[in-house]
Chain A
Amino acid sequence: RKEVEQDPGPFNVPEGATVAFNCTYSNSASQSFFWYRQDCRKEPKLLMSVYSSGNEDGRFTAQLNRASQYISLLIRDSKLSDSATYLCVVRMGFQKLVFGTGTRLLVSP
């Protein structure tokens, strides 16, 4: 079983749509949780950290359910510029980040 599992997609949505990505992780000792965004042939960039209380940053909302070992990302009012791969990331130990394979999002006009 993979340590972090995501649906690879692609998710094809029209502009203005709401889309949700889910992710599960296998190690209950995982310490911190993140969503990173990666554009084609570019480096990953931190989108947001994920907290048990849930957190929101503009059109983006992230949720963590430690009991179910489940992380989610909700994007409202999708923009063309949101097209990218979204990586679910779990921190293990000091600085070891464990990445999912990523979920590809395509937003069309």
Chain B
Amino acid sequence: DAGVTQSPTHLIKTRGQQVTLRCSPISGHKSVSWYQQVLGQGPQFIFQYYEKEERGRGNFPDRFSARQFPNYSSELNVNALLLGDSALYLCASSPGQGASTDTQYFGPGTRLTVL
């Protein structure tokens, strides 16, 4: 079975531009979460979506937005890019809404560089 997939794998943008990152969860998983990992730090929670609705939001500015589609895939959008947005963006999927048995499985990430 395919794991979590993300595209693109690498991306280079300039300050002020906008970017869209994509994620396909494991088949049968309905929950998708997004994390940002800057070099030397652990991943930071950005959003969680379940059944196409936002169920959680981390401490990120409104430049960050996301959505989930009927097939449970998801997009993360970042507007007005700043140098500090350079990071590895990770998508994680899980079967449900957070039962104690739910495990989050991470995709390989999209490495975004902002110049």
Contact = CB atoms under 8 A, between A and B. Distances in A.
Interface of A: 4, 31-32, 41-46, 49, 87, 89, 91, 93-102
A44 B42 CA distance: 10
Contacts, number: 64
B40 A99 contact: no
A43 B55 contact: no
Contacts of A89: 42
Interface stretch (B66-74, B79-87, B97-105): B97-105
A96 B103 contact: no
A101 B40 contact: yes
B56 A93 contact: yes
Nearest to A31: B100
A98 B105 CA distance: 15
A95 B42 contact: no
B7 interface: no
B94 interface: yes
Contacts of B31: 94-95
A97 B56 CA distance: 11
Given A87-B42, A100-B42, A101-B41, A95 B97 contact: yes
